[in-house]
């Protein structure tokens, strides 16, 4: 139908010119995503993809569970498809063209294929009038025709396809090989001015990344989503959304969850017209746990994923890990670094003083000590404080910030324990009153 006729019947119709290049890119993206389910993926005629899932059924929980996952991957890519399963690839191809469902045995496949139209195989379509003229309306009737005559009339390609579909001949395919490096980019249909709306496009890229990682048995530690902006008078560099992972992963749902949190906090300087995904810091995929019983409180992978989600939601500067320094001054020893920073256990233990375990330290140390009031020559914090320990003298920092302090464990009237100190060098004279500070609280 011509353009004018379409618009006359449906004025609200949106007509888009067909682009074979973009169709090929979309089919390649789907094939890359399906590599996460099996390494045997092949492109077939008429925009179809064949995958061999015989070795993947047990891993993904059976044929129904695997089909659900494949459909979910297609939806994440922004496509819909018709799935069929059969003992032969060509049989599944024919069933999918007629939405004929799934079969698991050759006997069931034979009965199902016999009822399909005779013009469904591509080599038979050029002879549709001839088949109709002789009353051959389904593939079962076609198979009952003499093979030599059918071959002379329609060619060898039709018989080869039927033999492969019915399991009477071997099938050979050229399986897709994942490229050595990952590069994926998509152009958006319209300008996007809100970063959160880029998530759907990012999901498509993550699906391709997951398939590529599984094909190479790799896991990723860092990904970068690049948001390309509309070109104006002034060229703008892409906005980079960087995701750093505490542990390598290849799970698409975890990566999408982190991207959702980061995009929600991203402010765009200009509309986005394209998305690109880069993968860095790749590691070999870790083997599954050999533990017979699940770990109490969740696995180490669950803990790392929770930390990564907190970093994406709160920012790397707000999720920290302790890295004590080799210094007796509490404010220097109490050092914190981002939780994503790699710290070897040998470095962590080497920076700890040898007698650190024997020193009383509070659970919470204040970022800045609080000056205490003095009442009746005793420090006061809600109530008069009573010293409950002998002093611990700390003298350090002579070349930077010298400190001369006597630390005590003090007890309030409600039996709360505080960590307080008295400055030993105060004022200008011998009669200057000592100054007391609150530096921490015990749990």
Residue 439 to residue 322: CA distance in whole angstroms: 18
In a domain, 53, yes or no: yes
Residue 302, by phi and psi: left (phi above 0), alpha (psi -120 to 50) or beta?
alpha
What tokens does 214 get? Answer: 């599984």
Q: What angle do CA 402, 408, 412 make, to 5 degrees?
A: 135
Judgement on whether residues 27 and 158 belong to the same structural domain of the protein: yes
Judgement on whether residues 238 and 135 belong to the same structural domain of the protein: no
In a domain, 1, yes or no: no
pLDDT digits 0-9 by tens, 344-376: 776 666 666 666 666 788 888 888 899 999 888
**Confidence at residue 233, expressed as pLDDT on a 0 to 100 scale:** 67
Judgement on whether residues 258 and 306 belong to the same structural domain of the protein: yes
Judgement on whether residues 43 and 130 belong to the same structural domain of the protein: yes
In a domain, 7, yes or no: no
Judgement on whether residues 67 and 129 belong to the same structural domain of the protein: yes
Could you list the residue range(s) of the whole structural domain that residue 160 is in? 16-165
In a domain, 422, yes or no: yes
User: Could you give the number of structural domains in the chain?
Assistant: 4
Judgement on whether residues 125 and 252 belong to the same structural domain of the protein: no
Judgement on whether residues 335 and 371 belong to the same structural domain of the protein: no
Judgement on whether residues 50 and 95 belong to the same structural domain of the protein: yes
In a domain, 173, yes or no: no
Q: What angle do CA 312, 315, 317 make, to 5 degrees?
A: 140
Judgement on whether residues 336 and 427 belong to the same structural domain of the protein: no
Residue 281 to residue 341: CA distance in whole angstroms: 14
Four-point Cα dihedral 80, 84, 88, 94, nearest 10: -80
In a domain, 113, yes or no: yes
Domain boundary pick from 165, 193, 218: 165
What is the CATH classification number for the domain harbouring 309? 3.30.1490.100
In a domain, 8, yes or no: no
Give the per-residue SS3 of the chain. Answer: CCHHHHHHHCCCCCCCCCCHHHHHHHHHHHHHHHCCCCCCEEEECCCEEEECCCCCCCCCCCHHHHHHHHHHHHHHHCCCCCCCECCCHHHHHHHHHCCCCECCCHHHHHHHHHCCECCCCHHHHHHHHHHHHCCCCEHHHHHCCCHHHHHHHHCHHHHHHHHHHCCCCCCCCCCCCCCCCCCEEEEEEEEECCHHHHHHHHHHHHHHHHHHHHHHCEEEEEEEEEEEECCCCCCCCCEEEEEEEEEEECCHHHHHHHHHHHHHCCCCCCCEEEEEEEEEEEEECCCCCCCCCCCCCCCHHHHHHHHHHHHHHHCHHHCEEECCCCCCCHHHHCCEEECCCCCCHHHHHHCCCCCHHHCCCCCEEEEEEEECEEECCEEECCCECEECCCCEEEEECCCCCCEEEEEEEEECCCCCEEEEEEECCCCCCCCCCCCEEEEEECC
Domain boundary pick from 96, 130, 165: 165
Which residue positions in the chain have pLDDT lower than 50? 292, 428, 431
**Claim: this prediction has a pTM higher than 0.85:** no
Judgement on whether residues 156 and 221 belong to the same structural domain of the protein: no
Judgement on whether residues 233 and 264 belong to the same structural domain of the protein: yes
β-partners of residue 220 are 249, 282
Between the alpha carbon of residue 21 and those of residues 27, 28, 182, the distances in Å are 10, 11, 20
pLDDT digits 0-9 by tens, 243-266: 888 788 888 888 998 899 889 888
Residue 225 to residue 198: CA distance in whole angstroms: 10
Judgement on whether residues 346 and 364 belong to the same structural domain of the protein: no
What is the bridge-based pairing of β-strands 218-229 and 320-322? unpaired
In a domain, 172, yes or no: no
């Amino acid at each position: 139908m011509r353009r004018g006729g379409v618009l006359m019947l449906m004025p609200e119709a949106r007509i888009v010119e067909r682009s074979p290049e973009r169709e090929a890119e979309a089919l390649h993206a789907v094939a890359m995503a399906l590599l996460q389910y099996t390494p045997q993926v092949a492109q077939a005629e008429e925009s179809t993809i064949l995958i061999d899932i015989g070795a993947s059924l047990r891993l993904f929980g059976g044929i129904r569970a695997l089909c659900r996952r494949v459909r979910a991957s297609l939806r994440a890519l922004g496509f819909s498809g018709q799935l069929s399963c059969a003992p032969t690839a060509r049989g599944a191809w024919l069933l999918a063209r007629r939405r004929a469902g799934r079969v698991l045995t050759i006997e069931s496949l034979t009965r199902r294929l016999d009822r399909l139209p005779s013009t469904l195989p591509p080599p038979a379509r050029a002879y549709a009038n001839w088949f109709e003229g002789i009353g051959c309306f389904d593939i079962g009737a076609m198979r009952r025709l003499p093979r030599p005559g059918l071959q002379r009339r329609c060619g060898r390609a039709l018989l080869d396809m039927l033999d492969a579909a019915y399991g009477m001949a071997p099938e050979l395919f050229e399986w897709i090989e994942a490229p050595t490096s990952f590069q994926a980019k998509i152009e958006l249909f319209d300008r996007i001015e809100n970063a959160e709306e880029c998530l759907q496009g990012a999901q498509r890229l993550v699906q391709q990344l997951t398939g590529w990682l599984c094909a190479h048995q790799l896991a990723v530690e860092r990904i970068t989503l690049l948001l390309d902006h509309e070109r104006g008078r002034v060229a703008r560099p892409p906005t980079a959304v960087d995701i750093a992972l505490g542990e390598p992963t290849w799970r698409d749902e975890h990566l999408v969850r982190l991207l959702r949190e980061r995009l929600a906090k991203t402010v765009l300087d200009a509309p986005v017209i394209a998305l690109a995904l880069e993968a860095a810091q790749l590691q070999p995929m870790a083997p599954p746990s050999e533990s017979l019983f699940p770990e109490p409180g969740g696995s180490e992978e669950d803990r790392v994923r929770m930390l990564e989600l907190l970093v994406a939601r709160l920012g790397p500067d707000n999720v920290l890990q302790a890295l004590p320094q080799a210094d007796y001054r509490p404010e220097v020893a109490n050092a914190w670094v981002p939780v994503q920073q790699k710290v070897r256990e040998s470095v962590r233990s080497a920076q700890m003083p040898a007698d650190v375990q024997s020193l009383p330290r509070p659970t919470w140390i204040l970022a800045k000590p609080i000056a205490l009031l003095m009442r009746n020559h005793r420090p006061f914090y809600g109530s008069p404080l009573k010293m409950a320990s002998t002093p611990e003298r700390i003298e350090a920092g002579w070349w930077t910030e010298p400190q001369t302090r006597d630390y005590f464990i003090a007890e309030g009237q409600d039996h709360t324990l505080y960590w307080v100190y008295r400055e030993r060098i105060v004022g200008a004279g011998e009669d200057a009153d000592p100054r007391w500070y609150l530096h921490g609280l015990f749990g």
